[in-house]
Amino acid sequence: MLESVCDSLWRASAPEGPKLAPLEGRHEVQVAIVGGGFTGLSAALHLAQLGLSVAVIEAQEIGFGGSGRNVGLVNAGVWLEPDQLDKTIGADAGRTLYNTLADAPELVFSLIEKYQIQCEAVRHGTLHAGVGKPGLAQLQRRCEQMQMRGAPVQLLDTAEAQTRIGSSKFNSALFDPRAGTIQPLAYARGLAKAALKEGALLFDHSPVSSVQPSSEGWIVNTPDGEVHAQKVVLATNAYSEHGVKEQARKFVPIFYSQLASQPLTSAQLAQILPNGEGVWDTCTVMSSFRLDQQGRLIFGGMGGEGGVLSNWASQRVSELFPFLNKVEWAYSWSGKIAYSEDHLPHCQQLQRGLFSVAGYSGRGIGPGTMMGKELAEWFAGKRDALSVPTTTLRNIPLRELKRLFYEVGAHTYHLGQKTHAFD
Ligand SMILES: Cc1cc2nc3c(=O)[nH]c(=O)nc-3n(C[C@H](O)[C@H](O)[C@H](O)COP(=O)(O)OP(=O)(O)OC[C@H]3O[C@@H](n4cnc5c(N)ncnc54)[C@H](O)[C@@H]3O)c2cc1C
């Protein structure tokens, strides 16, 4: 079934990125950023807008990490339920972070508008779909807590959820009209073009081999060049490699894979997500689905790519949407999510002038864009702190074992849930 698979749909359908070159020779800037994903690119764009000199140094190509591989759901807030967020970091810090990230979709869509980023942006909301009694109870809690904080969310009843999704397998859905979907790699490439336009320097194919202190700040070294900067941000999240590999030890890497179908027929599209929302469900081993501009169904689930996941995905899709008959998958790809121990993003001041922002735990489009903007404002003296707590994270003990636990758990779930997954 997977003969026609060729890499990621996002790589196949994104407009070309900017033409960049590897870092060569010596450069001096106020801020050097390691990593060309949403966090690093948004930081560079906003720093340049504020008149600071900035260079982004990317090991591979723009959007190589999670930013070019994700589902493309531009959501507000973090994974945790709002009350849980307050419990985890305290009521005041929780409220600050909640309010900031409530505005994250607006920031993303306004940047897309301002810089005319061609990234299939659709702001028709997202649906968190309820499965079973625990799923409904979770959505009721979330809805109540979010509405108490002023969010315009709505809990859809069974009939409404099933019509909006086009499947009889869900008993409810939490609709968030602030949210939407994008083609994530196209958004990352568009942010890079916008940052260049504002005057940032961008280098690709330049793996940072070390970051060393100097009398004026820091020196960021790559095989053929060096950047001298007063401040350095490591924006490498789950993909921290080469000279910043140590950062990866602060998070558990969780794999999430996606499959994209051939374009559906107009009759099929009239039934699946007719309003164009993106969906993820309340199952412990979560899955997601959405459409792209070509009318392809993009289905994702936790775990690495491979036969088990694609068999399970085909089975799941035929249970969800029996009218599709047999789905032909045309693309398959996966990515690594950086799970922090508390499922929240963190800013770490590793040493004076050396920062890392990471740990989005699967929700980084809005938060990564927002944290990049806040970093820029902080460095420009326009704010006193970030909305995420600045912490010192320990290396996660038994990290590889925890990764295996999630991977084997997802694998077993996919093997065991071939049928009656929604019963
Ligand atoms: C499969 C998947 C689905 C997801 N779905 C969603 C979703 O629907 N909605 C949502 O909000 N979030 C989602 N996320 C999370 C989101 O994609 C990430 O949180 C976000 O992309 C993180 O952006 P970032 O810029 O911090 O890091 P990344 O985009 O991972 O960028 C890090 C970059 O650092 C570079 N790098 C690493 N080491 C070095 C080095 N030594 N030198 C130079 N460069 C280096 C890497 O090459 C990489 O390009 C998903 C993630 C995955 C993997």
How would DSSP label each residue in 133-202? Answer: HHHHHHHHHHHHHHHHTT---EEE-HHHHHHHHT-TT-SEEEEETT-EE--HHHHHHHHHHHHHHTT-EE
Asked if residue 340 has its Cβ within 6 Å of ligand 1, the reply is no
Tokens encoding 153: 């969310």
Tokens encoding 169: 């397998």
Which residue's CA lies nearest to atom 50 of ligand 1?
70
> Which tens digit of pLDDT belongs to each residue from 142-153?
999 999 999 999
53 by Cβ neighbours in 10 Å (0-12 / 13-18 / 19+) ranks as middle
Per DSSP, the three-state class of 258 is strand
Asked if residue 23 has its Cβ within 6 Å of ligand 1, the reply is no
Which residue's CA lies nearest to atom 37 of ligand 1?
240
Which atom of ligand 1 lies closest to the CA of 337?
53
Distance CA 101, CA 368 (A): 10
Secondary structure element (H or E) that encloses residue 101, with its range: helix 91-102
Which atom of ligand 1 lies closest to the CA of 366?
11
Asked if residue 239 has its Cβ within 6 Å of ligand 1, the reply is yes
Which residue's CA lies nearest to atom 18 of ligand 1?
364
Asked if residue 17 has its Cβ within 6 Å of ligand 1, the reply is no
Span from the CA of 65 to the centroid of ligand 1 (angstroms): 4
Which residue's CA lies nearest to atom 25 of ligand 1?
37
Mutate-to-test residue for ligand 1 from 41, 57, 67, 388, highest number of ligand atoms within 8 A of CB: 67
pLDDT for residue 310: 82
Q: How many CB atoms lie within 10 A of CB 150?
A: 10
Q: How many CB atoms lie within 10 A of CB 365?
A: 27
**Domains with residue ranges and CATH for the chain:** 9-416 (3.50.50.60)
Asked if residue 39 has its Cβ within 6 Å of ligand 1, the reply is yes
What average pLDDT is seen over the chain?
Answer: 92
Tens digit of pLDDT per residue, the chain (423 long)? Answer: 333 345 899 999 999 999 999 999 999 999 999 999 999 999 999 999 999 999 999 999 999 999 999 999 999 998 899 999 999 999 999 999 999 999 999 999 999 999 999 999 999 999 999 999 999 999 999 999 999 999 999 999 999 999 999 999 999 999 999 999 999 999 999 999 999 999 999 999 999 999 999 998 999 999 999 999 999 999 999 999 999 999 888 898 999 999 999 999 999 999 999 999 999 999 988 999 999 999 999 999 988 776 667 888 999 999 999 999 889 899 999 999 999 989 999 999 999 999 999 999 999 999 999 999 999 999 999 999 999 988 766 666 666 666 666 676 666 666 665 444 554
Which atom of ligand 1 lies closest to the CA of 41?
25
Asked if residue 188 has its Cβ within 6 Å of ligand 1, the reply is no
pLDDT for residue 209: 98
Asked if residue 57 has its Cβ within 6 Å of ligand 1, the reply is yes
Span from the CA of 360 to the centroid of ligand 1 (angstroms): 9
How would DSSP label each residue in 304-355? Answer: -SSHHHHHHHHHHHHHH-GGG-SPPEEEEEEEEEEE-TTSS-EEEEEETTEE
> Which tens digit of pLDDT belongs to each residue from 203-226?
999 999 999 999 989 999 999 999
pLDDT for residue 265: 96
Inter-residue contact 21 to 203 (CB < 8 Å): yes
Angle, alpha carbons 242-192-333 (nearest 5°): 60
pLDDT for residue 389: 80
**Torsion over CA of 290, 293, 297 and 298, rounded to 10 degrees?**
-60
Asked if residue 236 has its Cβ within 6 Å of ligand 1, the reply is yes
Residue in 241, 195, 192, 184 with CA at minimum distance from that of residue 364: 184
Which residue's CA lies nearest to atom 9 of ligand 1?
73
Span from the CA of 320 to the centroid of ligand 1 (angstroms): 29
